[in-house]
């Protein structure tokens, strides 16, 4: 626990906590006010402050509000992260669709070229067969 006289400077990376610098200062001042209270529990000579039920209720309400605010912030960050992920995946999906379309077009072009080459091959085989028959007829004479 820190005494009120101690000047302690915390170097808290605000971007990692999700709190603004003002909120960090407010939380630290709230903690410092609680830390002045002695940690002894229940002893007669204790300097522990006894809060009225209304004050405890008020402190709990503040704590619950802060907890709810942090929860909403985490939920918002999670939703933003999911939205970013959806956008990235949509872009990747579109890129994959474009690549697939390109590959399909190349496949069709190769298939058409293959069919054309098969047709030319049949024509050339027919010409070659005619040449063999002509050569065989010439050798028979």
Of 5 and 99, more confident:
99
Q: Are residues 66 and 118 in the same domain?
A: yes
Query: Using CA atoms, how far apart are residues 18 and 71, in angstroms rounded to an integer?
Result: 11
- Residue 77: both structure tokens together: 């960050």
54 in a structural domain: yes
Do residues 77 and 25 make contact, with C-beta atoms less than 8 angstroms apart?
A: no
Q: Is there a single domain that holds both residue 33 and residue 55? A: no
Please check the confidence at residue 74 and state whether its pLDDT lies above 80.
yes
Give dist(CA 119, CA 106) in Å, integer: 20
Q: What is the pLDDT of residue 35?
A: 47
pLDDT range class, residue 38, cuts 50, 70, 90 = very low
Does a structural domain hold residue 91? yes
**Domain membership flag for residue 45:** no
> Are 56 and 105 within one domain?
yes
pLDDT value at 52 more than 50? yes
Q: By residue range, what is the domain housing residue 58?
A: 50-140
Q: Which residues contact 46 (CB under 8 A, 6 or more apart)?
A: 38, 40
Do 2 and 34 share a structural domain?
yes
- How many domains is the chain partitioned into structurally? 2
Higher pLDDT among residues 7 and 82, named by residue: 82
- 77 and 34 in one domain? no
Q: Smallest Cα–Cα separation from 103: which of 92, 111, 93, 113? A: 111
Q: Is there a single domain that holds both residue 75 and residue 109?
A: yes
* Cα–Cα separations (whole angstroms), residue 115 to 2, 101, 102, 106, 136: 87, 21, 20, 14, 31
Averaged pLDDT score across all residues of the chain: 82
Q: Does 83 lie in the same domain as 16?
A: no
For residue 126 the two structure tokens come to 């027919």
Q: What letter does residue 13 receive in the DSSP assignment?
A: -
Same domain, 79 and 113: yes
6 and 66 fall within a common domain = no
């Amino acid at each position: 626990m820190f005494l009120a006289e101690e000047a302690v400077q915390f170097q808290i990376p605000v971007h990692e906590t999700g709190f603004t610098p003002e909120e960090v200062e407010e939380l630290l001042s709230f903690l410092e006010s609680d830390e002045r209270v002695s940690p002894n529990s229940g002893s007669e000579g204790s300097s522990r402050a006894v809060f009225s039920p209304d004050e405890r209720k008020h402190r709990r309400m503040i704590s619950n509000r802060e907890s709810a605010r942090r929860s909403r912030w985490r939920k918002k960050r999670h939703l933003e992260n999911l939205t970013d992920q959806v956008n990235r995946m949509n872009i990747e999906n579109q890129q994959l669709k474009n690549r697939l379309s390109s590959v399909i077009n190349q496949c069709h072009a190769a298939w058409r070229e293959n069919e054309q080459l098969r047709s030319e091959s049949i024509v050339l085989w027919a010409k070659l067969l005619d040449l063999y028959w002509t050569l065989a007829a010439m050798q028979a004479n």
